Structure 1
Amino acid sequence: MILSLPPLGLFLGIYFLTGNIIMGAILGFGTHFIILVFSTKISKLLTKVMS
């Protein structure tokens, strides 16, 4: 959920505020892939915090 909800929120926020689905999709997918690049670091941080 940590990796997928922020891009989804960004996509829906841009879509509902501006009505531009293309811009929302581009920014949402871009954010999603940027988060995936850093997913190992995020995972290690979360594991460290939880234990």
Structure 2
Amino acid sequence: MFIIQPKQSVRTIASLMERSPSTISRELKRNTKNAAYSPVTAQTLYSYRK
């Protein structure tokens, strides 16, 4: 589990998660609603898109 601090850069988050910055950027762009990212919302949106 990762604790991501507000205003952390995409590159910092990617480094912590050992993922590409573009992957993190896409995830945030695709699943951010009302200016906030929520993993629960992300999962729900994924289910609708599937």
Taking structure 1 as the reference length, what is the TM-score of the superposition?
Answer: 0.33
Q: Which has the higher helix share?
A: 1
Q: Which has the higher strand share?
A: 2
Taking structure 2 as the reference length, what is the TM-score of the superposition?
Answer: 0.33
Larger RCO, structures 1/2 (Cα 8 Å, 6+ apart): 1
- Larger CA Rg, structure 1 vs 2: 1
